[in-house]
Amino acid sequence: MIKFHIIESGYFMADGGAMFGPIPKMYWERKYPCNEKNLCVMAMRCLFVETENRRILIDTGVGNKHELKFYQPHNLKDIVEEIKGIGYEPHEITDVVLTHLHFDHCGYATCFDKDKKAIPTFTNATYWLSKAQWENYRSPLLYEKDAFYPENIEPIYNANQLKLINEDVELLKGFSLKLYDGHTSGQIAAFIDTKNEKIVYPGDVVPTSAHVSLGWLSAYDNNAALAMEEKKRLLDKVVEEERTAIFYHDAKTVSAKVVQKNGYYFLKNAHRKQ
């Protein structure tokens, strides 16, 4: 049986114009508020999945190895302590799925030891990443280069804990990893079937509930046209399979089902934080 736990790993500030790209502020501000400096609060919502013999972490938040003053990280949680609160020690984690290698998704994949050397946080885990994303990180586009920090992934590679996938894979029965391009090369989205519901963890393919609308893209998307096509491909599957989407970056809307009508996508049964 598959069970999942949502881990709220913390928040940071992002410019609304960057997060919502081509959408004018007069529209996106109605769905996602900002402060007087045009900054929006962004969550980093990780997912912990447990089965009879697997303990899987999907994304890790920003971590604590780097100073990121521009993004004003705040209310950060130690991912190890959060997992301990669920009932597991770091060495018991069997798998870590990294949707992609942008720093706000994989910071706690590694940690500093007593000598300030970066090492894998989860010493017995297999870290899953797409080969396309790995190659993109190793030879990044200038546009994306500053989003990658070697300390977040090189220690995992050096420890032979990195597992690269070339295509969609079923990690275990009811738990699949599927690849999507556009935001970045080979981003992973997780499709998970629990006893009570089917869920999807789309990462930055659909970073907030506002981005469910197809034309609502991000300036952080490497290829806007492709990102829109890939988002449609994911949402069509979510609608068909009646899945609940868990939004990584939405500070208020944790999850929602998605419905489609006349080519447009809408939220249904949204779960919002109080």
Chain segment 135-181, per-residue pLDDT in tens: 999 999 999 999 999 999 999 999 999 999 999 999 999 999 999 99
Class of the domain covering 3-197: alpha beta
Closest-CA residue to 271 (of 247, 257, 245, 253): 253
pLDDT at residue 229, rounded to an integer: 98
- HSE-CB for 181 with a 13 A CA cutoff: 9
CA distance 47 to 6: 5
**Average of pLDDT values for 206-232?**
97
C-alpha distances in Å from residue 261, one per residue of 159, 228, 256? 48, 17, 16
Q: What 3-state DSSP class applies to 67?
A: coil
Residue 81's pLDDT band, with cuts at 50, 70 and 90, is very high
**Average of pLDDT values for 230-251?**
98
Chain segment 177-202, per-residue pLDDT in tens: 999 999 999 999 999 999 899 999 99
pLDDT at residue 67, rounded to an integer: 87
Residue 274's pLDDT band, with cuts at 50, 70 and 90, is confident
Chain segment 93-134, per-residue pLDDT in tens: 999 999 999 999 999 999 999 999 999 999 999 999 999 999
Give rounded-to-5 percent helix, strand, coil for the chain: 30, 35, 40
CA distance 108 to 106: 6
pLDDT at residue 96, rounded to an integer: 98
C-alpha distances in Å from residue 109, one per residue of 65, 93, 174, 207, 226? 11, 12, 24, 20, 28
Mean pLDDT across the chain, nearest whole number? 97
Cα 6 vs. chain centroid, distance in angstroms?
12
pLDDT at 207 over 80: yes
> What pTM did the predictor assign?
0.97
